[in-house]
Amino acid sequence: SLLRLHFHDCFVQGCDASVLLSGMEQNAFPNVMSLRGFEVIDSIKAKLETMCKQTVSCADILTVAARDSVVALGGPSWTVPLGRRDSTNANEAVANSDLPPPFFDLVNLTQSFGDKGFTVTDMVALSGAHTIGQAQCLNFRDRLYNETNINSGFATSLKANCPQPTGSGDRNLANLDVLTPYSFDNAYYSNLKSQKGLLHSDQVLFTGTGGGTDNTVNNFASNPAAFSSAFASAMVKMGNLSPLTGSQGQVRLSCSKVN
């Protein structure tokens, strides 16, 4: 949840903790009733404020928390540049337009990540964040019942908790990684090769025909070190998306509201 918070922050007007402001971006379709972890950031912020008042930004806390969450679950570490400042505004419209939805195909994903300066390899590596976490039924129902590039046993195992009628079990959760849902590893890519990607936007990364991003998925599936290195590199790049620095923005006293 903390890793997702960081991603949903940085893809909307840069890594400025705008996603933490009450309302606005939190009400956008990709975020409403699904973003979590705010209380963890608030707890960290409260402790920091007692130690060094108005010094560490919410944006920096979010960036470090995302990294440390990955490490805590067995994933790679990376050096986080610090000095971000917090925005005084948030943008629900940009959240709706810039965060890639779960029904995107490969062309749309490549465009969405490319617009933020990411290579195709970066995109495939960052998608590997789905080695942890869960998704709601409403985001994978269409894949379960209407797509053919899905393992039949995998689909069957999910249908009981995600009925076909819209509105029935919409918020029910399933693990994004069926193999090792609580470990940050490269199993996500093995899932794709077995047609066990939960979201449409996951499975489009691997077709099995040797085109598109198949070679990158094969590499990350067979070489954990290659995935770890590419993921860490892409996360540094993401944490550097349009930060506010110097006298821009502010260091919020409370992450959920402006000073």
The pLDDT assigned to 187 comes to 98
Tell me the whole-structure pTM to 2 decimals.
Answer: 0.97
Which is catalytic among the residues 3, 4, 5, 8? 8
Work out the angle at residue 27's Cα, subtended by the Cα atoms of residues 25 and 28, and round it to the nearest 5 degrees: 70
- The answer to whether residue 6 is catalytic is no
DSSP 8-state assignment for residue 85 = B
Per the CB < 8 A criterion, the answer to whether 62 and 15 are in contact is yes
Per the annotation, does 79 bind a ligand?
Answer: no
- In this predicted model, what pLDDT tens digit does every residue of 35-84 receive, in sequence order? 999 999 999 999 999 999 999 999 999 999 999 999 999 999 999 999 99
For domain 1-99, the question of CATH label 1.10.520.10 is answered with: yes
Structure tokens at 188: 């996500």
* 3-state SS class at 212: coil
Residue type, 114: G
Which residue intervals of the chain bear CATH 1.10.520.10?
1-99
Q: What is the mean pLDDT of residues 183-210?
A: 98
Per the annotation, does 185 bind a ligand?
Answer: yes
Per the annotation, does 166 bind a ligand?
Answer: no
The pLDDT assigned to 36 comes to 96
Token pair 């960052």: residue? 126
Q: What is the CATH number of domain 119-234?
A: 1.10.420.10
